[in-house]
Amino acid sequence: MQSSPLQPASSGRSDRLDPGVAKRIQQVHLRTHRLMNTALAGSYRSTFRGTGIEFEEVRPYIPGDDVRSIDWNVTARTGEPFVKLFREERELTVNLIVDTAITLDFGTQRWSKLEGAAQLTALITMVALHNQDRVGLTLFGSEPGLHLQPSKGMHHTQRLIRSVMMAPVAHGRSDYSAVLQAAERTLHRRSLLFFISDFHAAAHDSEWVEILARLERRHDVIAVRVVDPLEEALPEVGRLRLGALDGPGQLEVDTSSAAVRDAWEQEAQERRRVIQAGLARARVSHFDLDLGGDLADPLVAFFRRREMSRGGA
């Protein structure tokens, strides 16, 4: 069998923004604009609520008003019945925690896993901005990295995309516990929290599930597993060279061997089982971002499932 070279999709990242990287960032930005639509924004709005309700005004009582809304102080002062009106405090704070470990600098599709995470970051940010919500970003690898405070605006969106795609590769194993503990200390206001990773280090960190569970009790936490199709199953194409899935260097496998393909799939299934079991213990909602398909579809499907589970309320 001839060797079939299959290299990771290079993100082209470096310490400075060369024309190739600038073009990739622009592609992500333009593609996200095409993926974003009013239906997705509306689904987001109906799925995720604000932090509560706030008083708006009082007005004269109208027959049929709920008597429980009568403002007795104003009624006593004026001698006429008045009711309190409230409105939903709609604005959400959205925080994105994105893994930049070396395992995400891998891809056999059009995008690397990190570029897929950048597109998801952009899509969530644009949907949130469409609904006047603020978005913040934290990058991490072997330790917490760049942190951008929640903000609004297209310039902020572009900065988020660029920050993810230009993030330096973290060569150590991702430390979920450290970044989640940092979020626990710093996120005081209830927020919608997206935790985006390939979760390759999940089996090596014994504390992240407990910390994530504590965060879920205070915030609305959603975990997103970024996955390349080749990580789940090997194609039968003979000898295959590819970047190692769990670090630097290269890996060569003989995909013509059924035993090799079966072992690969069994390892993928065990990795997935560990991740899903941890997220279930933490009671955290989650979905997969499969780079083999349209990157907007998993987010749309998740919003719809959430909306249906809450009765569309």
**What per-residue confidence (pLDDT) applies to 206?**
82
Hey, is 175 helix, strand or coil? coil
**What per-residue confidence (pLDDT) applies to 8?**
37
183 and 41 in a single domain? The answer is yes
**What per-residue confidence (pLDDT) applies to 307?**
78
246 and 275 in a single domain? The answer is yes
110 and 258 in a single domain? The answer is yes
196 and 69 in a single domain? The answer is no
Give the count of beta carbons closer than 10 Å to the beta carbon of residue 311. 6
Spell 114-126 as b/e; 16+ CB within 10 A means b: bbbbbbbbbbbbb
CA-to-CA distance for 269 and 233, rounded, in angstroms? 10
Q: How far is CA 54 from CA 84, 248, 249, in A?
A: 11, 52, 56
175 and 99 in a single domain? The answer is yes
| DSSP states of 190-246 | --EEEEEE--TTGGG-SSHHHHHHHHHHHSEEEEEEEE-HHHH---S-SEEEEE-TT
125 and 162 in a single domain? The answer is yes
**What per-residue confidence (pLDDT) applies to 84?**
87
**What per-residue confidence (pLDDT) applies to 5?**
34
130 and 168 in a single domain? The answer is yes
Tokens 């290299």 belong to 7
Sort strands 52-60 and 220-227 into parallel, antiparallel or unpaired.
Answer: unpaired
141 and 158 in a single domain? The answer is yes
Q: Select from 124, 122, 261, 270 the least CA-distant residue to 191.
A: 124
In the predicted model, residues of the chain with pLDDT beneath 70 are: 1-43, 46, 49-56, 86-90, 243-249, 310-313
**What per-residue confidence (pLDDT) applies to 119?**
87
What CATH number did the domain enclosing 110 receive? Answer: 3.40.50.410
Helix (H) or strand (E) holding 54: strand 52-60
Domain total of the chain:
2
CA-to-CA distance for 252 and 239, rounded, in angstroms? 7
142 and 224 in a single domain? The answer is yes
Helix (H) or strand (E) holding 31: helix 19-35
CA-to-CA distance for 193 and 17, rounded, in angstroms? 29
Give the count of beta carbons closer than 10 Å to the beta carbon of residue 1. 10
179 and 247 in a single domain? The answer is yes
**What per-residue confidence (pLDDT) applies to 310?**
65
Structure tokens at 186: 């710093």
Answer with the one of 89, 116, 150 that is the final residue of a domain.
89
**What per-residue confidence (pLDDT) applies to 44?**
74
100 and 29 in a single domain? The answer is yes
Full residue range of the structural domain in which residue 63 is found: 52-89
Name the phi and psi angles at 194, rounded to 5. Answer: -100, 125
83 and 107 in a single domain? The answer is no
**What per-residue confidence (pLDDT) applies to 3?**
36
